[in-house]
Amino acid sequence: MNNKIRKICTQINKIKFKIEEEQKKLNDLEKQKMELENMEIVQIVRSTKMNTSELSTFLKTYKNSKVLPPITYKQEENSND
């Protein structure tokens, strides 16, 4: 193999390694985000002080109703982006 090809192959391998590392970081960040979102949901649910059957009934009723969820400031802010 000539030197130019060898150099290009080396660069390709370096870039592939960097991509793998960044993909690992991305996956880790996505996992952290999901864990935080789940914790936030759990906190909200716990704040209702409903037992499991009450919560289940509430969610089923809400799901079957035609009521739209209230728009929060965050949702409005994101829709303007």
pLDDT of residue 78: 57
Give the residue extent of every domain in the chain: 3-79
Beta strands in 25-71 (DSSP E): none
The model carries a pTM of 0.61
Instruction: Give 10-residue mean pLDDT values along the chain (81 residues).
Output: 93 98 98 97 91 89 78 59 50
Question: Cα separation of 79 and 73, whole Å?
Answer: 10
Nearest to 69 by CA among 44, 32, 42: 44
pLDDT of residue 79: 58
